[in-house]
Chains A and B, each alone.
Chain A
Amino acid sequence: MFLHSLMLLFSAIALLSTALLALWMLLTRQGRQAMSVTAVGISTLRQRLGMSSVIVIGIAGVVAVLVALLAMGDGYRETLSKTGSADTAIVMRGASASEVMSVLDHDSVTLIPQTAGIAKDAKGQPIASPELVVAANLPMKGGQADDEGSVQLRGVSDQAWAVRPNLKMVEGRKFTPGMRELIVGKGAARQFAGLEPGHEIRLGSQLWTVVGVFSSGDAMDSEVWGDAGVVADTYRRGSSRASVTVKLADPAAFDAFKATLEANPQLKVDVSTTLDYFSKQSEGMSTFLTIIGIVVGSIMAIGAIFGALNCMFAAVAARAREIATLRAIGFRGLPVVVAVMLETMLLALLGGVIGGLLAWLVFNGYSASTLAAGSVGKLSFELRVSAELLWVGLLWALTIGFIGGLFPAVRAARLPVTTALREL
């Protein structure tokens, strides 16, 4: 939140100062002077190609790395926050940090759907999906034979589709209840070997057949689903389940629903909206990724600032005579400062654009995976380079350019005219 407001502040400063600068350049005498000095500087950039490219490439590197790392945090957060909605609620045993850790006995599983406030389907049945969440070891794609990864396996009934309308089969068919059949999320299919319709995979000592692939565009994509009863059998869970996900008749009545359930002396459960549940799961990890992005970006930015300082000092030194001449014929200090600053910021802007573009080309949609908090399987997610992130990258570039240009600009303006003219 703090970072967000900081960014807004920076954006406001950037936009405001651009506007003021444009007005000043157009309307005042000094502004017009600054414009012409800048024009000269920019037109001679080609002679200082080596140095200018150091600034551009240095800043492009910072922005590319920063944007890529932030895109990782954003992609992760987005995948989890898209999972779940405000109109469905998840009921778990009290004090369970996640579904895997929760156990609801058979009585609770039958009792929960009878609570008031749950939407009814066409047949008048409450839309409530008792689900079992376990993990399965499966061979990873592209790994050695012994390389097994963990995937989250969800045992579901027909109601699971009703509480998640965004879930679609994209290949094959749904599993047949009572059979050892699995359907797999497309993220899981991408990561684990043999998750294609028609293939058989081993879970422990049993063979299961993959019959279909589903897509939901959220964290469910990383899961594998089977019939709840059969999964419970394989994992010796009897008639217990991990959670019950329900569709609320009225999302606004969530608090009442929660209060009713928690007040029920026969139950010891925690209730949250699925939106809340999944957002909370992403909190720690995405903050962590954002911090890493900012730390790495800052260290690189320090390097880039000094690189830019170095290059601009050299540029100013190379143009010392030219600048002194301008000052001798009546140009003021301020236009010179502005011109040097503008030149640096222009190079920085170019670097920022290149870096952002590079990050976008290479990493937008790039799929990554990690063991997510609160889940027992690999969560696959896509890096997402949004317009907002590109803007953050540009702001960083401009800040680096500003600091890197400021001191050389001041030196250029302060240089005694006579000394500078004599210098060869």
Chain B
Amino acid sequence: MKYLHLIWAALFRRKTRTILTLVSIIAAFLLFGMLDAVRTGFDQAGNSANGAERLQTGSRLSFIQTLPQSLEARIAQVPGVKMVTYANWFGGAYQDPHNQVFSFAVEPNYLDLYPEMEVSAAERKAFDNTRTGALVGEKLAERFHWKVGDKIPMQSTIFPNHEGSKNWTFDIVGILHSKDKKSGGFYDQMFLLNWKYFDETTPYNRGQVGWYVTRVTDVNQADRVAKAIDAISANSDHETRTQTEAAATANWMKQLADIGLIVSSIMGAVFFTLLLLSGNTMMQAVRERTSELAVLKTIGFSSQSVLAMVLAESVLLLLLGGVLGLGLAMLMVGGIQAKMGGAIPMAPVDAGIWLHGLLLMIAAGLLVGALPAMRAMRLNIVDALAGR
């Protein structure tokens, strides 16, 4: 530590070169931070503690197939089930059929199963009491400039109402806030409407349920409960498939894209280039300072400490650039999330990503510094001073 100022001075001996290299490193870690945020976002979607307690039961045939509403009472009787609710796709779109909104028609107790969706007691009550009421996620409300009290038209791309028209009207009675932004950013984009209004207004549904959500009393019993729920309708014409919410979400994400592969191939290309580039800088730096290093050795620095100093210099270089880059990534990810909401599952740049990044910086620094440091260590004082 006491040589820090010496290492620092060596690093900024050639300001232009160091700054140019730093910018490259910043760019690399900016990319790393953003891509890792997307990767973590995909990994962690639905992966909350509450997600493990919830089971999703859908038709075994496919996710668009509906189930009879009568199943609710039978699921509720399965031992280990604490609460059960159901919902269906509404397929809502605002203004333009391509402007789709995550909209579900839900039973009144739906929110009891989702404690991570926060809504004030008064608004909750208003939702229960207003037939045409709707609860909207805060980001969604922001996107379309909605506020509580607004009466809004909404098209359903799936269900016409009894007049055969696609245009439904809703009263916004409350705003949903997601408690955990990391795994539940999705809730800020939701639009919930009352099941009763939905089922009674469209002639196309008639007591059909899109999926059931069950909360189990004991997480460790989730598998058993899931099997018991599926057993209810085995061999009927509406067989079900029950999964934990975490497993179901992970499955969706995997179908969406193999993010891991894309991210790691990009990062591979970036880091290979980065190593070469900063390695080259360090090589130059050591070559230039040959005589200085020889002087250091002459006045008593051991070969090992010269090795350590060169290594420290390259690690410092990587750390400086890396920390700046990740910091920038943190700002940008925050900005993107504020702008686009849940369009891309993107986790904030948190401690995990920082740890990941710091390890990478140190590893890259050591790798990059290894060759020049060895060279500095093996330096023969006489030859170096003579410029041979």
Contact = CB atoms under 8 A, between A and B. Distances in A.
Interface of A: 50-51, 53-54, 57-58, 61-62, 64-65, 68-69, 93-98, 100-101, 103, 134-137, 146-150, 153, 203-205, 234-236, 268, 280, 284, 296, 299-300, 302-304, 306-307, 309-311, 313-314, 368-371, 376, 378
Nearest to B25: A303
A150 B62 contact: yes
Interface in B47-87: 59-65
Q: Sort A-B residue pairs by CB-CB distance and give the 6 closest, nearest first.
A: A303-B27, A135-B62, A95-B166, A204-B61, A310-B20, A306-B23
B359 interface: no
A104 B35 CA distance: 44
Contacts of A58: 273, 276-277
Given A97-B100, A302-B27, 4 more contacts: A57-B276, A134-B61, A303-B23, A313-B20
A166 to B, nearest CB: 27
Contact of B256 (A203, A299, A371): A371
B153 interface: no
A399 B183 CA distance: 40
Contact of B62 (A65, A134, A304, A307): A134
B175 to A, nearest CB: 26
Contact of A306 (B20, B100, B158, B276): B20
B283 interface: yes
Nearest to A358: B269
B22 to A, nearest CB: 8
B63 A306 contact: no
A97 B91 contact: yes
A307 B273 contact: yes
Interface string B231-257: 000111101010000010001101111
Contacts of B155: 95
A94 B236 CA distance: 33
A164 to B, nearest CB: 23
A248 B35 CA distance: 47
Contacts of B224: none
A148 B234 CA distance: 18
Interface in B262-277: 265-266, 269-270, 272-274, 276-277
Given A205-B235, A299-B31, A310-B17, A97 B93 contact: yes
Nearest to B167: A95
Nearest to A240: B204
A103 B160 CA distance: 10
A64 to B, nearest CB: 6
9 contacts: A94-B166, A97-B157, A134-B65, A146-B247, A204-B61, A268-B160, A307-B24, A310-B277, A371-B256
Contacts of A205: 60, 234-237, 239
Contacts of A64: 269
Contacts of B255: 149-150, 369-371, 378
Contacts of A368: 257-258
Main secondary structure of the interface of B (DSSP, over half): helix
Contacts of B158: 96, 101
B13 to A, nearest CB: 14
Contact of A299 (B30, B62, B93): B30
Contact of A284 (B59, B93, B98): B98
Interface in B135-156: 155-156
Contact of B24 (A137, A236, A310, A313): A310
Contacts of B258: 368
Contact of A307 (B265, B272, B277): B277
Contact of B280 (A54, A61, A268): A54
Contacts of A280: 98
Contacts of A376: 62-64
Central interface residue in A137, A311, A369, by most chain B CB within 10 Å: A137
B284 interface: yes
B283 A50 contact: yes
B28 interface: yes
Given A100-B64, A296-B31, A310-B17, A303 B273 contact: yes
Nearest to B38: A292
Looking at A94, A203, A234, the one whose CB has the most chain B CB atoms below 10 A away is A94
B97 interface: yes
B88 interface: no
Nearest to B30: A299
Contacts of B283: 50
Contacts of A314: 17, 284
Contacts of B34: 299
B16 interface: yes
B334 interface: no
Given A96-B97, A378-B255, A310 B21 contact: yes
B343 to A, nearest CB: 9
Nearest to B328: A299
B257 A235 contact: no
A294 B237 CA distance: 49
Contacts of A94: 166
A134 B17 CA distance: 60
B281 interface: yes
B151 to A, nearest CB: 20
B115 interface: no
B164 interface: yes
B103 to A, nearest CB: 13
A330 B24 CA distance: 37
A54 B100 CA distance: 46
Nearest to B62: A135
B28 A303 contact: yes
Contact of A204 (B60, B247, B254): B60
A299 B61 contact: no
A306 B24 contact: yes
B206 to A, nearest CB: 12
Nearest to A302: B27
Contacts of B63: 135, 137, 150, 376
A395 to B, nearest CB: 19
Contacts of B25: 303
A268 B160 CA distance: 11
A134 B64 contact: yes
Contacts of B280: 50-51, 54, 311
